[in-house]
Amino acid sequence: MFNLLRAIALGTIVMVIMAASVSAAPNASVVVVYPLTTTGDADPHVGEQIASLISADLQTTASVAIREPSGAVSRQDFLETARRLGADYYLSGFVSKISGQLSVVEQLVSTLSDTTVWSNDARLVTADDARAQGELVRSAILGHAGRALAAFDAAPVTAPAKVAPATVAPASAPGSRSFAVLLTGGSASETRRAYADAAIVKALQNHGFVGDVLNDPSGDLSIIGPAICAATGAQLLLGGDVAIDIQPDREINQWATAKFDLSAYDCVKGRSLGQHSAISEAFNWNWAVDQAVAVALKNLAYG
């Protein structure tokens, strides 16, 4: 941990930016990278340092331009600030310390539609691991910006009856299945709920589904499902609640129990698929959530 923090010290970041940044092209995608929110025992400055490394890597090509806010910005103002700076996207996330490593959850949000177009979770051990996140973010930006109809980019609406149809995913092979995940609720912290969202997305994408997270809270899908299906074009909606119980110091770093209640709605048939619950235990909460999500999806028969 000490070596990682030392390697991503701001002095190193400044040298990387000076040595590698290039002038952005006129049609470059504009991005605001906010400092990652630190939780638990993580160094309070490491979120800013990781964000600076990601920004430095993003500036190594002309396809992405970085905009920086003039001062600290609260999470609730991320969208408005990014729009005021003329950004197409903003990146935010969380970082926590687990077993001597940094656990990172990242979310890339389109300022046009206020939807999460990409999310990722990673473990950082070295400075190269931190820098590598920039390449992942750039690939996500270019992949989204390059589509003729970007995912989830219907204009925001105030009433479901006036929602214009939009596509959840780019055109793909016949038979492809599209999904949308509503923000997970429950008693777990915001960081861990965001991790659960990312775990659902990753599991479904690994099984041939196409889609991502919507910036809308979960609710009774039998009621809100039809309007969201019409707005996104998704074939499957998912949401749920996650609760995590951590018992420290059982001859290991921690022992975590995750309970995940998954709700689903079939947009094609217009019916609720009910709730599917799963409980999993593991050496840390990340693994417990991954396993609980996988079991719940399997019970749903979409895993």
**Domains of the chain in sequence order:** 2-145 (3.40.50.10070), 160-300 (3.40.50.10610)
Which amino acid makes up residue 165?
P
* 202 exposure class (CB count in 10 Å sphere: 0-12, 13-18, 19+): middle
pLDDT at 5 over 70: no
Mean pLDDT value across the chain: 77
Which amino acid makes up residue 145?
A
Residues in the chain: 303
Tell me the C-alpha distance between 204 and 81, whole Å: 32
Which range has highest mean pLDDT (17-21, 70-74, 143-147)? Answer: 70-74
The reported pLDDT for the residue numbered 159 is 39
Which amino acid makes up residue 23?
S
The reported pLDDT for the residue numbered 84 is 93
Higher pLDDT, residue 206 or 47: 47
Tell me the C-alpha distance between 303 and 298, whole Å: 4
Banded model confidence at residue 1, pLDDT cuts 50, 70, 90: low
Helices (H), 115-189: 127-145
Report, as an integer, the average pLDDT of 110-127. Answer: 80
With tokens 């040595």, the residue in question is 19
Banded model confidence at residue 170, pLDDT cuts 50, 70, 90: very low
